[in-house]
Amino acid sequence: MNDRIRKKVRNFQQVLHAAYPTVTDPKLRGPGRFALKAAAGWRYATEFYAFPIELKVVNKIFPYNRPEITGF
């Protein structure tokens, strides 16, 4: 895979994980979950995955631990 495709896949993953955050992350509750879903909802609905800058900012404020990387 070349870098362009990797970047597209990474952006899609970031939008997907923010639009549908896992329920197994005990630290992500209430406002954090809402902020992630709100920031990613329009991107997922319109299939616009390029340059998810606002998701990076929201992820800094409300860190999202993905269980496939951090474990359960």
- Structural domains counted in the chain: 1
Looking at the predicted structure, is the pLDDT value of residue 65 above 80? no
Looking at the predicted structure, is the pLDDT value of residue 72 above 60? no
Q: Is the pTM of this model over 0.85?
A: no
Domain that holds residue 25: 3-70
Confidence of residue 63 (pLDDT cuts 50, 70, 90): confident
Summarize pLDDT for 5-57 with one digit per residue, the tens.
999 999 998 898 888 887 777 777 888 888 888 999 999 999 999 999 998 89
Looking at the predicted structure, is the pLDDT value of residue 70 above 80? no
Q: Render 4-71 in DSSP notation, one character per residue.
A: HHHHHHHHHHHHHHHHS--TT-TT--HHHHHHHHHHHHHHHHHT--S--HHHHHHHHHS----HHHH-
